[in-house]
Amino acid sequence: MFWQMAVFNKILKDCRGGIGTAVLAGILCAAVCLHAAAYWVRQEAEENSRRILRRQLQFAVQALAKAGFEYGSMPEGGINLPPQKLQPGNYTLKAGIFEENTSGGIKKYTVQAEAGGETFALQQLQIALPQQIAELGKRYTLAAGKSLQGAENLPEGSFSFTPDEKTLLYTIQEEGPKDGPDMLRILEPNDRLPGFRNRYLIWRYDLQTGLYEQLTYGHNNTFINDVSADSRYLLFSTNEQDYTSLPHSSNSMYKLDLQSMAVDTLWERAKYINGATFSPDGKRLMVFGSGNAFDNIGLNIKEGQISNTYDGQLFLYDPATRKAKALTKDFNPNVTSAQWNKFDGQIYMLTEDQDYQRVYTCNPANGKIRRLDLPEDVIYNYSLAEAAPVMYYYGQSVSNANRLYSYNTKSKKTQLIYDLSADKLKDIQFGEVHDWNFTSTDGTIIQGRYYLPPNFDASRKYPMIVYYYGGTSPTNRALEFSYSMHMYAALGYVVYTLNPSGTTGFGQEFAARHVNAWGDKTADEIIQGTEQFCKEHSFVNPKKIGCAGASYGGFMTQYLQTKTDLFAAAVSHAGISA
């Protein structure tokens, strides 16, 4: 390949436009590409063979290790697997676990696996038996005649249990390749970020045998999406960047049989899909994405609009037929998360519902959606029982901190468990909060609210702060967040916040107004709303109005200064900078 490249470069340097020369260069270029392609195909095939071989070796050693545990004390001569043929490569596998010596009542064992004349060390196979480790890699100790009751010497890293609680699933970070000290090659814009070349791969740790086994390989990160209720199947995904078309990334989803290690590819390089979970019976998937997913079946926008991918939609997917169904196409709230409950079969959805954060249920059989009547304005999280009609949740409202509740999903009754406000806010005085909406020039009702200082006096003139969304998420009614409206009101300001066009939680069409609008419509609505608010509320000093926003709101703060002199002060948090 290298001589072909050298000749190719020489021809290009000497080329004076002749057709024959150009044809020759093209032929050589094609030869180079074919040679390179063949090389990488061969490399990939060899790597796949090695992966399969490693997998078979791991299962062989797993069987041996389990046998060692069951015996408690190793039988004389150890345990051997009968020689067996392995594919690919027609290898013969020999494996065994052998007693080395006994010292102080502790037996030491060696586990070896050999295939094709190559001995595989335990460190290569990444086996970590939950015993006292005498020597990392090859030697492990186990008290003779005693069974293992707890898991000791667990691998490092974060993990989650499978539903049967027999296995731990790890996501392990592997360090990526590094450039030499003299030159830094930037593969793509994100390669400038620390850790971009590192990869996250999935491992499992068997709590019964101690086998620590790698499940996924490759140059892409792999992500655990879910494990089926019977613990047999692992749903995992990979993402790939594509800067040439929206949404600049794609999702591939795989179903791995944790017994046979067979992989079912559910979809590859699909656009606008974020993740998926199993249904309680494992026969269907609940898929998270935006309206464009599955060939736009969930899209609900006007002609000419581009969807706002921050507006979340839910889909049902049948792995048997490879068909999907949109669940929330005509549902205006933005679905931020969801759980498919085993007890009643309902899907519980946490949503941005205008400036509220609410929980809804969706019946997957008929698509009917119902809002749960819960007392707080902003529900932050919830947990559902698998075998009872019970849900616990917590949330807060515009003038109170978090409260914890239980909710009976059958009787629809709520019970307060703990009120954090009773301790945190017992000596705090809040001003009043009022909703205030206006109609924009195009006839759209723009939702908002305002906060008054404690001990408010309507005869006075107050300075005002105007706050607006960042990242198109609505400014919700929570008391506590980075920019607490009550905090500014306590300093003597009137605070006005609004959710202009482009905000999620008001329907797909409303959210899509943000895309490719470059802030123009949003800025106009902020200006119009502020001017209208001042006209209707004489207690605002129109010469002392400030504006503030973060992220996209930081950009909006900067952009507003180019469109109006309405604001006497402006704060841009994490906006565009040089």
Q: Quick: pLDDT tens for 193-233.
A: 888 999 999 999 988 888 888 999 888 999 999 999 999 99
Structure tokens at 550: 């973060």
At 494-511, the pLDDT tens digits run 999 999 999 999 999 999
* Average confidence score pLDDT of the chain: 82
pLDDT at 376 over 80: yes
pLDDT at 275 over 70: yes
Across 164-173, average pLDDT:
93
Residue 99 CB neighbours (<10 A):
18
Asked which of 156-165, 222-231, 380-389 is least confident by mean pLDDT, the reply is 156-165
Query: What is the pTM (predicted TM-score) of this model?
Result: 0.76
Give pLDDT, residue 52: 54
At 462-481, the pLDDT tens digits run 999 999 988 789 999 999 98
Give pLDDT, residue 12: 37
Region of 508 (left: φ > 0; alpha: ψ -120 to 50; beta: rest) is alpha
The DSSP 8-state label assigned to residue 309 in this structure reads T
pLDDT at 561 over 60: yes
Asked which of 85-94, 107-116, 120-129, 411-420 is least confident by mean pLDDT, the reply is 120-129
3-state secondary structure of 323: strand
E strand or H helix at 349, and its extent?
strand 347-353
How far is Cα 207 from Cα 433, in angstroms, rounded to an integer?
54
At 52-76, the pLDDT tens digits run 555 555 555 555 555 554 444 555 6
At 13-24, the pLDDT tens digits run 344 444 444 444
> Sheet holding 273-278: strands in order across?
273-278, 285-289, 313-318, 323-326
pLDDT at 282 over 60: yes
Give pLDDT, residue 428: 93
Cα Rg of the chain (Å, integer): 31
Within 13 Å of residue 361, how many CA atoms lie on the same side as its CB? 16
Percent pLDDT > 70 in the chain is: 73
Structure tokens at 65: 């290790």
Interacting residues of 71 by C-beta distance below 8 A, sequence separation 6+: 79
Asked which of 101-105, 168-172, 451-455, 491-495 is least confident by mean pLDDT, the reply is 101-105
Within 13 Å of residue 188, how many CA atoms lie on the same side as its CB? 9
How far is Cα 285 from Cα 500, in angstroms, rounded to an integer?
34
Give pLDDT, residue 8: 34
pLDDT at 182 over 80: yes
Across 91-112, average pLDDT:
54
Percent pLDDT > 90 in the chain is: 61
Give pLDDT, residue 74: 52
As a whole number of angstroms, the longest Cα–Cα distance in the chain is 97
Q: What CA–CA distances, in Å, run from 74 to 64, 68, 101, 131, 389? A: 11, 6, 11, 15, 50
The DSSP 8-state label assigned to residue 191 in this structure reads G
Within 13 Å of residue 475, how many CA atoms lie on the same side as its CB? 27
Structure tokens at 149: 């009751």
Asked which of 153-157, 228-232, 281-285 is least confident by mean pLDDT, the reply is 153-157
Q: Which residue has the tokens 């002609």?
A: 303
Give pLDDT, residue 267: 97
Asked which of 91-95, 205-209, 392-396, 444-448 is least confident by mean pLDDT, the reply is 91-95
Cis peptide before 389 (omega within 30 of 0): no
How far is Cα 300 from Cα 331, in angstroms, rounded to an integer?
10
Give pLDDT, residue 149: 37
How far is Cα 452 from Cα 430, in angstroms, rounded to an integer?
9
pLDDT at 319 over 80: yes
Task: Report residue 169's pLDDT band, with 50, 70 and 90 as the boundaries.
Answer: very high
Greatest mean pLDDT among 31-40, 109-118, 124-133, 202-211:
202-211
